[in-house]
Structure 1
Amino acid sequence: MLTNGQAKSSSYQGANPIHELLAEGQSVWQDDISRQMLESGEIARAISETGIRGLTSNPTIFEKAIASGTAYDADIARFLGEDKTAAEIFEAVEVQDIRDACDLFRPIYDESNGGDGYCSIEVSPGAARDPELTRNEARRLWQSVDRPNLMVKIPGTAEGAAIIEEMLTEGININITLLFAIESYERVANAYVAALEARAVSGQPIDRIASVASFFVSRVDTLVDKLLDEKIAQTTDSAAKEELQHLKAKAAVANAKLAYASFQEIFEGPGFAPLRANGAMVQRPLWASTSVKNPDYRDVLYVEELIGPDTVNTMPRPTIVAFSDHGIVGRTVDRDLDAARQIVAELRQVGIEMEDVTARLEDEGIASFTKSYDTLIAGVEAKRSQVATAVAAG
C-alpha cells in the first residue's frame, strides 16, 4: 500500500536504487544541511538527480557546518550589533537554512499533496524532559520558519508524549525523534491518532497534518554488540561464544521490524480507517541512525533490511552515495518477523533485555545531543569573537 503521496513516479523508476526505493513506498531524506550546500546547489541537485525527498537536521550537523568555513560569517557579523546571545544567533541562522531548504523541497510537498518534501528543525536538547520548554520552542520554531512543509523535531520521551499530541492538535507537523523502544513508538503513534481524532471532532481539517516517528537503528547494534562482546570475553565455552557471536548485528533490525509491525497494527487496522477516509495520512516510521558504525558490516545494512511501504529512511550523504552505488532494493521490512522475535528472545536468554537497552540508549541519546548542542553554542560564540575581531581590524 502506497500512501502519503508516495505514488510511483515514472521519472524515478529504474534510474538508481534511491529512485527504486520510492516504488517500494520508501522516501529517502538527507540527514545533512549547511549553508554551503544550499548556496552551491548541492541540495537542489540531490533532489533533482539523486531523488531525495526531504531533509533532517540536528545540533551536530549544524555544529560542523558553522565551525567549518566562512558561510555563516556574514550573518554573524550582521548580528554583532544586535546584542544576541550565541543561542539566539544559532537559532536565527538555523531558521534561515531550514526555511531555504523547505522552499527547495516545496515542489515535492505540493506534488505529493503534503505526503513528502519535509525539512526538520529540532527543539533544543534541554527540552527533552521539560514539557513547557518543548511547547514554547515548538511553537516558536514553527512560527519562525513559517513553511507548511516544516516538521519540528521533539524527542519521544514519556514527558514529551502529551506535548506531541498537543502540538499536532494545534496543526504543527512533528518529527518525533530519539525513539528506540517499541513501547515508546506505540505511545507516540497513538498520540498522533489521538491528535487527529481531536481535530476531527472539533471540525478542523486533518488532511495536511503530517508526522514521522524517527526510530533509531544502528545505535541499538552498537550497544548490544558491545554487551555481547563483554559476554564473549567472559566465557571459555566455545559453543556459548558461537551463540553470542551469532547474535551480533541482529538486534537493531529485529527491533525496527517489530516497530513496523506495530505501525501496521495501528495504521492498517479498523481503528484508523475513519480518519483515513477523511484524508488523514499515516504517521510514517522514519529509520534514523542508519549509517553503519561497524566497518565489518555491509555499509547499507540498515537500508536494505528496512525497505517497505509508508517508511522514510534519513541517510547521511555517504550512505546515500553507497546505496546509490550498490544497494539492493526489495521489500524487507515485514519479512521474517518470527526471526526478529526469536532474536529478541535469544538476547533475553543470554541476559540482554531490549527494554534495558532502549532505556539506556534514550538517556545516552539525550546526553549526546545535549553535548553536541553545548559544543555548537560554544562554537558559535568562538565564531562570533573571530568575526568581531575581523570586523574591528577592518
Structure 2
Amino acid sequence: MKPTGQLHDLGQSIWLDNITRGLLTHGTLQRYIDEFSVTGLTSNPTIFDKAIQEGGLYDAAIQRLTAEGKSGEALFFELAIEDLTRAADLFRPVHDSTGGIDGWVSLEVSPLLAGDTAGTISAAARLHHAAQRPNLFIKIPGTEQGIPAIEASIFAGVPVNVTLLFSREQYIDAAQAYLRGIERRIAAGLDPRVGSVASIFVSRWDVAVKDKVPPPLRNRLGIAIAERAYQAYRNLLASPRWQHVAAAGARPQRLLWASTGTKDPAAADTLYVESLAAPDTINTVPDKTLQAFADHGELRGVLPIDGGDAEDVLAQFARAGVDDVALAAQLQREGAQAFDQSWKDLIGRIDGKSTAPEKGNPTREGHS
C-alpha cells in the first residue's frame, strides 16, 4: 500500500493544494484520487493567479465571459466556480459516502474584504449560492474581522474553511466562532450539520525564523505550533460543550494542516506530511509534495494528543529570542497581505487577457 493510502487508513484526509483547468481536463486530479487517495482540494488567490498566468487554458473562457459583459472579480469568480464545481463533482462520491465529513473543495472570498465583516458575510453567501454544490467551502480568514463573519456564515448554513490561522490561540478563536454559529442554529431549530475546517499554516513559521535560530532548531517551529494546536483540537472535541452539539447532530470542525510543502532544500521533501499524521485531520499538499510522499514517504507515527514535546521545543525557541505570540500575529498579517497582492495580480492578469488574449502552452500544475 502506498504511504498515501496508509495515511487515509489512519484517518487523515489528503487534499490537494492546487487547482488548474489542466488538472481537470488532463485527468490528473482523477488520477490523484484513484492512485494517491486524495479526497479533497483547496485553492487560494495565489494558486489561481499562477494557473491563469502559466498557460492558455483559460484564454477562451476569459474571452467568452468578457463578451458576455463580465470583467474583474465577477469574471474571475465565474472561472473559479467553473473549475471548482467540476472538482466538487469528482469528490462528490467521497462526500456522500462520508456523510459530508470529507470530499470538499474550497473557494476564497476576495482578500480585499479582509477588513470588512459585513462584506465578507454577504460575499460568502453569494458564492455559496452561485456554486450550487453541497461540498464547496467558502474560505474566510480567521482574522479579527473574519471571526464574526465565520460565526454568521455558519449560522446562515454556509460551509466555511477558516484560513490564515497560525497559532493555537487563533485556532481556538475560529473554533469558538464555529461553535457559536452551530449553537445558534440549534437554538433556532435549524440543522446543525454545517461543514467547516480550520486551517493552520505550518511551514511559514520555519521560513520566518530560518536565519534567526541555531541549526538544531531549524524546521522544528511549525511542527511544534501544530502539535500545540492539535492538543487544543482534541481537548475541544472531548469537552462537554462540543459533546452537547455533537449529540444534536453537529459535525466536528476538522483541523487542517496548510502550507505543508517543504521550503528548505536541506530538509526532507516529505517533512510536514510525515510529522503531522493524525486521525480526524486533513493535510492539504501541493502536487510535488503529494508525489514525493506517495513515492518515498513513511508513516512514522501519529501526533500525540497531549501535545508531546511542543512546549519544551517552544521554550527553546523563546530562549533563542522567538516570540511566538507576536510572530503568529505577524504571519497572519503577512499572509493576508500576500493574498491581497496575489488577488490584485490575478485581476490585473485577467483584465490583460480580456483585452489582449495571450497564446501559450497548456498550463503547468502550479501551487502556492
Scaled by the length of structure 2, the TM-score of the pair is 0.94
Q: Alignment partner for residue 120 of structure 2, among 126, 134, 144?
A: 134
Cα distance in 2 for residues equivalent to 1:267 and 1:72: 43
Q: Alignment partner for residue 196 of structure 2, among 197, 206, 211?
A: 211
The corresponding residue for 1:160 is 146
Deviations 1:331-359 (A, max 9, x none): 42227835210111122223211011111
The one-letter code matched in structure 2 to 1:127 is L
Cα distance in 1 for residues equivalent to 2:212 and 2:163: 24
The corresponding residue for 1:239 is none
Deviations 1:250-296 (A, max 9, x none): 11100000000000111122221122222221111100000000011
Q: Does 1:190 align with 2:160?
A: no
User: 8 Å contact 2:230–2:307 — kept in the other structure?
Assistant: no
Count residues in correspondence.
359
Cα distance in 1 for residues equivalent to 2:115 and 2:232: 25
The corresponding residue for 1:3 is none
Q: Does 1:286 align with 2:256?
A: yes
The corresponding residue for 2:362 is none
Q: C-alpha displacement at 1:87, in angstroms?
A: 2.0
User: 8 Å contact 2:59–2:358 — kept in the other structure?
Assistant: no
The one-letter code matched in structure 2 to 1:213 is A
The corresponding residue for 1:357 is 327
The corresponding residue for 1:61 is 47
Cα distance in 1 for residues equivalent to 2:301 and 2:344: 40
| Secondary structure in structure 2 of the residue aligned to 1:325 | helix
The runs of 4+ residues in structure 1 deviating greater than 4 Å are none
User: Percent identity at matched positions?
Assistant: 40
The corresponding residue for 1:5 is none
| Secondary structure in structure 1 of the residue aligned to 2:256 | strand
Which consecutive unaligned segments of at least 5 residues does structure 1 have? 1-14, 229-243, 390-394
Q: Does 1:385 align with 2:316?
A: no
Equivalent positions of 1:121-270 (< 5 A) are: 121-207=107-193, 209-228=194-213, 244-270=214-240
User: 8 Å contact 1:16–1:324 — kept in the other structure?
Assistant: yes
The corresponding residue for 2:363 is none
Which consecutive unaligned segments of at least 5 residues does structure 2 have? 360-368
Q: C-alpha displacement at 1:386, in angstroms?
A: 2.0
User: 8 Å contact 1:24–1:330 — kept in the other structure?
Assistant: no
Q: C-alpha displacement at 1:100, in angstroms?
A: 1.1
Q: C-alpha displacement at 1:23, in angstroms?
A: 1.5
The corresponding residue for 1:115 is 101
User: 8 Å contact 2:168–2:228 — kept in the other structure?
Assistant: yes
User: 8 Å contact 1:66–1:72 — kept in the other structure?
Assistant: yes
Q: Which has the higher contact order (CA 8 A, sep 6+)?
A: 2
Q: Which moved more, 1:132-141 or 1:51-60?
A: 132-141
| Secondary structure in structure 1 of the residue aligned to 2:350 | helix
Q: Does 1:74 align with 2:60?
A: yes
- The two structures, once aligned, show a CA RMSD in angstroms of 1.6
User: 8 Å contact 1:224–1:357 — kept in the other structure?
Assistant: no
The one-letter code matched in structure 2 to 1:176 is V
Cα distance in 2 for residues equivalent to 1:86 and 1:349: 48
Scaled by the length of structure 1, the TM-score of the pair is 0.88
The one-letter code matched in structure 2 to 1:284 is R
The one-letter code matched in structure 1 to 2:290 is I
